[in-house]
Structure 1
Amino acid sequence: MLEQLIHLDKSSDDNLKQQIRKALAVAILDGHLPLDKPIPSSRKLSQALSVSRQTVMFAYEDLVDDGYIIARERRGYFVNPSILDGRAKLEDTAGQAGHSSAAADAAETSPGPDWTERFASQPSLQRNIDKPSDWQRYEYPFLSGQIDPKTFPLAEWRECSKQALSVLAVRDWTGDCMDTDDPLLIEQIRTRVLPRRGIWAKPEEILVTVGTQHSLYLISSLLSKSGKRMGMENPGYPDARNIFASQFEELVPLPIDNYGLVLSEPLRACDYVYTTPSHQWPTSVTMPIERRKKLLQLAEDDDLVVIEDDYEIETNYIDDPLPALKSLDNCGRVIYMSSLSKVLAPGLRIGFMVAPEPLIAEARVLRRLMMRHPPMNNQRMTALFLSRGHYDALLKRLWRKYKRNWGLITRAIERYIPSNLQRPVFGGTSCWVRGPKGLDCRKLRQVAAERGLLLELGDIAFGEEVYGDPQVSGVKALTGDDSPQQYFRLGFTVIPEEKIEPGIRLIAEIIEELTQPS
């Protein structure tokens, strides 16, 4: 019966009429309603669903307007046969239309192609960052890269969404823009976002991307000529390492210390280097201005190109933010990339890169081959959000919240986890923690999750070649005689303030359990 196909949810964002309309449309498209029989009257369906008859009548009227059903005088409502026109019909073994087809039967017996033999590469075999999608249900979510939904500026975003849906705005973004970006967004990035980092750029030097990973993939695809060497921090950002490993023949792990990337001899032999100077991933240490200038001088002397990932903009809580490497670059050797989604919403996927015009021109063409451009409606809404000052106001609110959480978590770690190293960290949105010798961060994460606590693995930040041997490739400068398995990462952007101290205390208790002699 029709009412069995309709399940009303009082907690849904859709009202009852919308739920009924949606359920009926799905039932019609899935072929659950016969064409030759009338659907139940509004009176019968309203009684079966325990809703008002008027609600059902409004739903039926919407379906008539949309062409799903038709009204026949004195007979009732019927499924409109034309709504199913244009659909391919599968033939069954007897040559008649039906759900059981020869193709489906054959699929059950034929092994099909061996896909693993056909893959040029298998990204799934790389060690990737793994975060649960249901992190909200955990009592102590020490995660980074997420935002607390309560901090999202919903009223302001709705305001910008409405303006983006005005008649004039819709004309701007509904068409195929080929490889261009929203001029308003480019202007806002150029005049409102980049100057905060000391960067001044022409519109032709800016490209909008679907987040930093997209920027990294574009750059890797363009620059990975045979024989070129890509250097990156080790430990470092796993997604960047995996992208580079899939494109470059040689990936050089470079050591870091308490001040970020070490300007070592292996660096001088690279063609490109990826670095996170504002807050090194994963340690959150900041590269001082003197080392930044030396890195740029080294890049000029050795014909090196620097890829700067400024993934955490303005989250210094003690000193003022240092100028970006790109702002100090007078030779066009720095490719700068960042993201607005870290502050606004990760799901929005709005990032950008700044580089010399010839590189941006080629990246724009390559992006067109991949996806044309990021969705223009999202670009316009983000541009409006920036232009009205909402982004600046949000930054200030989040800075205050994150500074409080940073103080709470650093003090709690100092109190409950004495094995941790004291590093000159001035901000960021996560803490890099060293556990005692013998700790296995994977076992720690497993046991912690069973007790309602989420944390991030530390060993994944180390390259394969040093995973079990911290003395390889100079990574000893960071870890000493430690093992990568001793390290883990604690984000503090989504955990409630009152949960931070008891959460750290719980981690300390689990560490003690796991490292006690058996």
Structure 2
Amino acid sequence: MQAPKQIPPETFLIDRDTPLPLQLQLRRQIVLAVHEGRFRPGERMPSSRALSAHLGVGRITVSMAYGELVAADYLVARGRSGYFIADRAHALDETPTLAPMPRFDWTGKLPGRYRATQRKDRPRNWRDYPYPFLYGQIDDRLIDHAAWRECAVRALGRRDLGALADDQYDGDDPELIDFIIRHLLPRRGIRARPEEVLLTMGAQNALWLICQILLNRGEACAIEEPFYPGLHEILSVHDCQVHPVPIDAQGLPCDAIPAQVSVVFTSPSHQCPTNRTMPRARREALLRLAALRGFAVVEDDYEFEISFAGATSPALKAMDRSGAVIYIGSFSKSVFPGLRLGYIVADPAFVAEARALRSMMLRHPPGHVQRTMAYFLSLGHYDRQLNRMRAAYAERRAATAQALVRHGLDLGMEAGSGGSSFWLGTPGGLDSELLAARLRPQGVLIEPGRPFHRQSGAGAASYRLAYSSIGVSEIEEGIRRIAAVSRDCAGAA
């Protein structure tokens, strides 16, 4: 049985400038902490000796306060074990009366622009739904938990104590950087030196760093539409002009990029959210245009690991001879989303600036996480998990595609050759937000299309259907429910 939590003496303070007796102050603090949920049933109070020494009061003062609270059923005394919070203490009516204090007014201090950009269509309790076609989450069965735990324990060993305990200032784990350079980047055709790589807290953090450096002086940028909502959230709070460029069947069309932009954001391997892949000829055209006009290209190499069509096209960064491409990679989809670890590959001058900015904000990603990831890669666990995930996603993608056809939800949209989701249109142009709302009581989660478009009315007839977080055995029934609710909504319209 787990030992009860010990409430530390440092939790308590005494105000010697108030006329309230010390014993009453102590009793009020305990009662208030119980009602606020800070002290919970079964937790052990400090001994009268320890608390009196901390507060600089007599033991009799503490003992009398404890005794009164035992009489009031807030505490229980257990022989030689001490005093504990009573099981029913939180249900008692007595609460201490405190002098009223005017609340600090935050309304005039906070701009509110950051909260205003946040998406509100992603439920935190998605695991409670039996059919979560939700992107960005993962089925726990695909994670090699034992291997990750082994690597975490190894990283805690004495050999790695420096990597774990030291403040590396603006530095990164050299073992992780070395593995990224020698093993991961070559798979994308990228050659890099240590000074060209910067670790980040995932792709979102990488995008924020890039925008903060390149787009805070009124510059213009181009983004694909539909787009990654996380990027649009960042851009909406920066001092820049945003030009959405509608994609076609081959991704971002180069001839539609406005002339005045200084940065172009693209996800050429698996365009977010449509999964369309930019062919090599268009990649070459984009790089020529970047060299001609002098704009930077930010390549989010989104889900390149999850491809079912053999060899993938080389990354833009691998084809870049001028140094204009800033490459973003992430372990969120290939290891697990909560890891929040990624990297930037770019010209040393840009990386040096980004490293200085990162140092101001968070110094560096936690050393223990970095070293654990280095072991996970070097011991072969990463490749084994990736192969398992790739096989599982291929099976789930096939099951999803077949179920969509069987239930009449295949609207002739291109399936692509990888990734962990489909981008679909709703039957009869049905509003996807209405469809999502009607599906939730049925235990089904989908992602409506509006957050992927700049204009409020755009994307209403589209939605994303992901299969990374749902087992293959649940796919058929989940899609059957989507089809049934779609028919009901269309009939009621």
Q: Same fold (TM over 0.5)?
A: yes
2:193 maps to what in 1?
Answer: 202
Q: Distance in 2 between matches of 1:163 and 1:271?
A: 45
Q: Distance in 2 between matches of 1:262 and 1:321?
A: 20
The one of 435, 456, 473 aligned to 1:467: 456
Aligned residues of 2:226 and 2:247 also touching (Cα < 8 A): yes
1:49 maps to what in 2?
Answer: none
| 1:287-306 mapped onto 2 (5 Å cutoff) | 287-306=278-297
Aligned residues of 2:307 and 2:417 also touching (Cα < 8 A): yes
Quickly say closer, same or farther: Cα 1:461–1:80, change in 2 above 3 A: same
The one of 127, 138, 153 aligned to 2:144: 153
Q: Distance in 1 between matches of 2:333 and 2:9?
A: 41
Aligned residues of 2:245 and 2:256 also touching (Cα < 8 A): no
Is 1:417 the counterpart of 2:408? The answer is yes
Percent identity, aligned pairs only, is: 36
1:112 maps to what in 2?
Answer: 104
| 1:370-389 mapped onto 2 (5 Å cutoff) | 370-389=361-380
Aligned residues of 1:258 and 1:424 also touching (Cα < 8 A): no
Quickly say closer, same or farther: Cα 1:415–1:100, change in 2 above 3 A: closer
Aligned partner letter, 1:242 = E
Aligned residues of 1:260 and 1:286 also touching (Cα < 8 A): yes
Partner-residue secondary structure (3-state), 1:192: helix
Aligned residues of 1:174 and 1:376 also touching (Cα < 8 A): yes
| 1:104-503 mapped onto 2 (5 Å cutoff) | 105-107=99-101, 110-113=102-105, 115-126=106-117, 128=119, 130-418=121-409, 420-423=411-414, 425-463=416-454, 466-468=455-457, 484-503=459-478
Q: Distance in 2 between matches of 1:393 and 1:82?
A: 57
Partner-residue secondary structure (3-state), 1:268: coil
Q: CA deviation at 1:434?
A: 0.2
Further displaced range: 141-150 or 198-207 = 141-150
Aligned partner letter, 1:467 = S
Query: Which segments of 5 or more consecutive residues in structure 2 lack a partner in the other structure?
Result: 14-21, 24-41, 57-93
Q: CA deviation at 1:236?
A: 0.3
2:50 maps to what in 1?
Answer: 80
1:474 maps to what in 2?
Answer: none
Q: CA deviation at 1:424?
A: 5.3
Aligned residues of 2:413 and 2:424 also touching (Cα < 8 A): no
Aligned residues of 1:458 and 1:486 also touching (Cα < 8 A): yes
Q: Distance in 2 between matches of 1:354 and 1:78?
A: 59
Partner-residue secondary structure (3-state), 2:172: coil
Q: CA deviation at 1:189?
A: 1.1
Quickly say closer, same or farther: Cα 1:378–1:459, change in 2 above 3 A: same
| 1:50-65 mapped onto 2 (5 Å cutoff) | none
Quickly say closer, same or farther: Cα 1:207–1:185, change in 2 above 3 A: same
Q: CA deviation at 1:432?
A: 0.5
1:504 maps to what in 2?
Answer: 479
TM-score, normalised with respect to structure 1: 0.78
Q: Distance in 1 between matches of 2:304 and 2:7?
A: 45
TM-score, normalised with respect to structure 2: 0.82
Quickly say closer, same or farther: Cα 1:136–1:424, change in 2 above 3 A: closer
Q: CA deviation at 1:370?
A: 0.4
Q: Distance in 2 between matches of 1:365 and 1:213?
A: 18
Query: Which segments of 5 or more consecutive residues in structure 1 lack a partner in the other structure?
Result: 1-15, 37-58, 70-76, 87-98, 471-483
Partner-residue secondary structure (3-state), 1:169: helix
Quickly say closer, same or farther: Cα 1:100–1:207, change in 2 above 3 A: farther
Aligned partner letter, 2:212 = S
Q: CA deviation at 1:311?
A: 2.3
Is 1:515 the counterpart of 2:485? The answer is no
Q: CA RMSD in A?
A: 2.7
Q: Distance in 2 between matches of 1:31 and 1:226?
A: 49
Q: What per-residue deviation string (whole Å, max 9, x for no partner) do you get for residues 145-201 of structure 1?
A: 111112211111121112111112113320211110111111111112111111111
Q: What per-residue deviation string (whole Å, max 9, x for no partner) do you get for residues 419-440 of structure 1?
A: 6232151111011110123411
Q: Distance in 2 between matches of 1:372 and 1:82?
A: 41
Q: CA deviation at 1:106?
A: 3.9
How many residues align? The count is 430
